[in-house]
Amino acid sequence: MLRTKVLIAISIGTLFYVFTSMTLGQSSFWAMEQLEEQKQKISVNAANIAKINENLTMEYNGLKYDMDVVAAYARRLGYVGENEVLVKISGLPTHYKGVYDVGTVMRRTEIEYIPEWMCKLVGCVVGTLVLLIQLTLVPSRKVAKSFKRKSSYEAGIRTSPYDNLGIKVETI
């Protein structure tokens, strides 16, 4: 009987360890959810950086091959071409401040989880508690047998099987 109680306690402790490890451990559902969120953020950031790269590539090609684009940038910087007259208007900035957006820095965030040793500790504590509860609250067979009511035959009184039915049988 003690062996059965120990096996039950070990089984329940193992079940709690597995449950804790699967839900809150390092390779758990909770950790996988956090990784999925990071993956989505990185995907969005990568798409934004790809758009910025495409825009910068178009601007680079325009500056490299199209003279009208070069002239427009030169005018913004305050340069004047041949046969052009410079007119300065007060209140407007005289030079072009081109600041390029290069995206945002993505830092890897640490995944939150319960360490493996703590999952094992939970399993051991639960298993020990189950064993203690079984040993203190669930009586063993030996204790249960000692509290059984003795039948009238065991007490030395001879009875008839018809006593329980309410029929009196006299023996001669």
Predicted confidence at residue 89, as pLDDT, reads 75
Residue 32 pLDDT more than 90? yes
Q: Give the list of residues 6+ apart from residue 116 with CB closer than 8 angstroms, or none.
A: 21, 25, 26
Q: What are the Cα distances from residue 100, in Å, to 11, 44, 127? A: 62, 19, 61
| Per-residue pLDDT reduced to its tens digit, 112-146 | 999 999 999 999 999 999 999 988 887 766 655 55
Question: What is the model's pTM?
Answer: 0.56
Q: DSSP letter for 88, please.
A: -
| Per-residue pLDDT reduced to its tens digit, 62-85 | 889 988 888 888 877 778 878 877
Rounded Cα distance, 71 and 64, in Å? 12
- Pairwise pLDDT comparison (43 vs 138), residue with the higher score: 43
- Decide: 135 and 22 in contact? Cβ < 8 Å: no
- Decide: 21 and 28 in contact? Cβ < 8 Å: yes
**Number of CB atoms found within 10 A of residue 69's CB:** 14
Q: Give the list of residues 6+ apart from residue 30 with CB closer than 8 angstroms, or none.
A: 23, 24, 112, 113
